[in-house]
Amino acid sequence: MTVKKYRKKPVVIEALQYQEGNVAEVVKWISANDGSYFFTHGFDGGSFAIETLEGNMTVVPNDYIIKGMQGEFFPCKPDIFALTYEPVDA
């Protein structure tokens, strides 16, 4: 078998960075887009979990929450997000 190289297709996604002061905004956005979440430590700006295609995943402050191409949600650490995504001009 020969190893081949591939390039990731450019895709535009929606994302919102979760910070301790915007938990209400984050859960409103997830809910408005038919996503599921639940609080693991109360509605206090700490961690919470979102339902992803791979199961429930914990979101902590500064993580980005990405809405994928099929409407699914998943968390992404800030360093990985910065390496993978760049802003799109509106």
Instruction: Mark the ranges of the chain whose per-residue pLDDT is less than 70.
Output: 40-45, 90
Return the pLDDT at 48.
85
- What tokens were used for 70? 């099929």
User: What predicted TM-score, i.e. pTM, was given to this entire model?
Assistant: 0.80
Domain with 79, as residue range(s), is 14-84
Count of structural domains, the chain: 1
Return the pLDDT at 8.
82
Determine, yes or no, domain membership for 8: no
- What are the helix (H) ranges across 4-77? 23-32
Determine, yes or no, domain membership for 6: no
Return the pLDDT at 14.
94
The secondary structure of residue 82, as a DSSP letter, is: H
Return the pLDDT at 28.
92
